[in-house]
Structure 1
Amino acid sequence: MASNSANGSAVLPDSQSKRIAESLLEGSGIAFNGSNPWDIQVHDPAFFGKVIRGGSMALGETYMEGLWDCEQIDEMIVRLLNHGLGDRAESPLRRALYQLQSNFINLQSKTRAFIVGKQHYDLGNDLFERMLDSTMCYSCAYWKDTDDLHQAQLNKLDLAARKLGLEPGMKVLDIGCGWGSFAYHAATHYGCEVTGITISREQAEYARGRCKDLPVEIILEDYRDLTGEYDRIVSIGMFEHVGHKNYRTYFEAAKKLLKPDGLFVLHTIGSNGTSIGADPWINKYIFPNGVLPSVVQIARPTEDLFVMEDWQNFGADYDRTLMAWYERFERAWPDVKHNYNERTYRMFRYYLLICAGAFRARDIQLWQVVFSNRRPGRYDAPR
């Protein structure tokens, strides 16, 4: 909700900032201190000036600070995005600085690749175990023919496995294996030998324990350092950390590692537009150096490397997944809050709900893309 006219050095009085904020929300269906569950309940008038000056970054930070509340943040975000405030929520200066930084610095270089692991994925397995289901999938579930989160996550894992055409004895590489969800599934249900890589020490330790009696190797390593040859490659919820400077390098690495008749399934959140940018609050507090690719940013770096066999969008299912995680998070918080603080609680609550709202507004997507190494014959993707 940043106002371009208010990004100068002068600090506006709270009353004037409030009038600007109210004018920005006019027609959105959102009110300050209104009676709807998606209305913003302001506890401190300093909220207005901070948000007018700081945009979406300040909106998240003032929520973490307790300056405002909202019963249904997810619905608030849907209305903000549908009202067109998504493009105006960040100051031109902040956007330009990010683009300048990302043009001159590889924000997802090998030396920086482990930052997100330490900040987010290593936060605490006690929290993630309770928020996620027992598969420990931290990516979009596939809610076809089920209302149960666990079954929906199994559906997602098996959808990717069936798209890969897994068979016993195949060597499978899982780029960004997380807590070992797909590695466990492929080894247990398909008899595959799986190598999983992650940039999180907590994830690696958990996955090794989970898969200790299976033909699974879990490695703490960057994808650029991998060697070997694999029948199949899968990457679920990792490509968001690759970055535009590394897309071609990523796909060239996959090409080098995949056998000539192999298949590669890429599962990633995607952006509706091709741009170099990231939500500043998500970038700072949740997924540092993360960036969402567009269709073009996936297609162009794969030219002359792979054949794109199938492209499926089930982004609407991520809204449902995030709301299921949110409900589990709320139920679990009393049992884990002694390990965290109120600021972490509000951070996670805000993160889950704004992401759910973004998917509900169709502002971002979820794609599963199947690539082949120019294998002969027709490919029919399972659904």
Structure 2
Amino acid sequence: MSRYSLDNKKIYETREINFIKLFFRILLVFISFVVIGMFIVPVNDVVSYNYGEIISKNPEINFKAPFEIIPKKTYVSKGDRVFKGDTLMEVDNASGEFVTLFQQNKSIDIDKLNIEEKVEFLKKQIELDSIQYINDRKNITNELRNIGQQAYLLNQQIKIKRNKLRSDSIMYNKEVISLIELRQANDDYLTSKSSYVKIRNLRSQLDAQFNSLENEYLQSKNTLEIQISDLVASQNRLDQQKVNVNSKLEVREKSIDIVQGLNNRQFLISNLNGVIVNVFTQNQNLSFINKGESLISITPDSENFYARARVKEQDLKYLKEGQITHLKLDAYYYYQYGPIKGTLSFIPNRKEADNNFYVLIDLPKNQKLNLRSGYSFNGEVILEKMKMGKYILKKVFEQYDTQMSVQEVPAPKPSSISI
């Protein structure tokens, strides 16, 4: 072999070794970057959802007639801007229901006031009867105590006079005293005995009065309490009637009022700022509007939104109120406009009618995107931020736990049939 061939072989081997060294260094740098990145680069642990919908908190409002009315004059037309407090329409109550309900409302208030006064009077009467009952018990108790003392003294006197009568009888038989003195002793004894019998009868009457006093008091108290209960029931019925009357008097939608003006003139008053999008009397030539029919539709100037997203039931255990979520709207290109940030405001406890779980998301009022009710989106809920290495280990262990739980589920044993 020539010297030239040996030199070429050495050059070839040197180049090969240099290439391997360079490749190894590049690989080492790449692995270093990966390892360092696993401990430095942060990633989000998320729960994804594939469907959601933007919902308006104050959509277009369609105001209806709260009773049968005849429109007299309309002050607005379609496309007009109105403000809170503006007069929209003058109407007449065709059936006089508004005036009747207003009078009923006043009558109910008067009846409730009378019932409250009667209830207070009866409660006061119960208090007075209780005081009178206590005083009567004390008086009868004192009288019984006095009568008991009198009866005791009379009983002692009867014993003394009976002994005296016996001794006088002996002395009369011995002709020591006269018959007049004997009769006097006998009259004294009989008088004392008669007084004792009267006191005993009086005590029996007081005992009966004492026993009947409690029965009469309890009976009177029960009667008054029954009357109070009946009055309270009547008051509750009046309260319910008042609620019904007020619900009829109030306009069913919160943002419009029908107020009573001079000479029983009635006006529709706007309670919000917005734009008229429909006026019933301008679209149809009708002089009479039935209860519940549309009068005016107004779109509010400012519209606030919230979101409703469908989540999987196995992801619910990770969700908490207040967590940040990113919404990717289908109407806007994500990589150009970016996501909308929201906050979880409600976690469901049960499935809805379509057998799915839905979370509610609060959205900030100031949005760079022009939102509309009905926009669909998908997105993700950020559970926590962690390093890439920890995230990979977590996912590996979760996958391992899932596989183990599937393996631990026992397969159903085939049923043995004996013939």
TM-score bin, normalised by smaller chain: under 0.3
Q: Which structure is higher in RCO with an 8 Å CA cutoff and minimum separation 6?
A: 2
Instruction: Decide which structure has greater strand share.
Output: 2
Considering only CA atoms, is the larger Rg found in Structure 1 or Structure 2? Answer: 2
TM, length-normalised to structure 1: 0.16
TM, length-normalised to structure 2: 0.15
Instruction: Decide which structure has greater helix share.
Output: 2
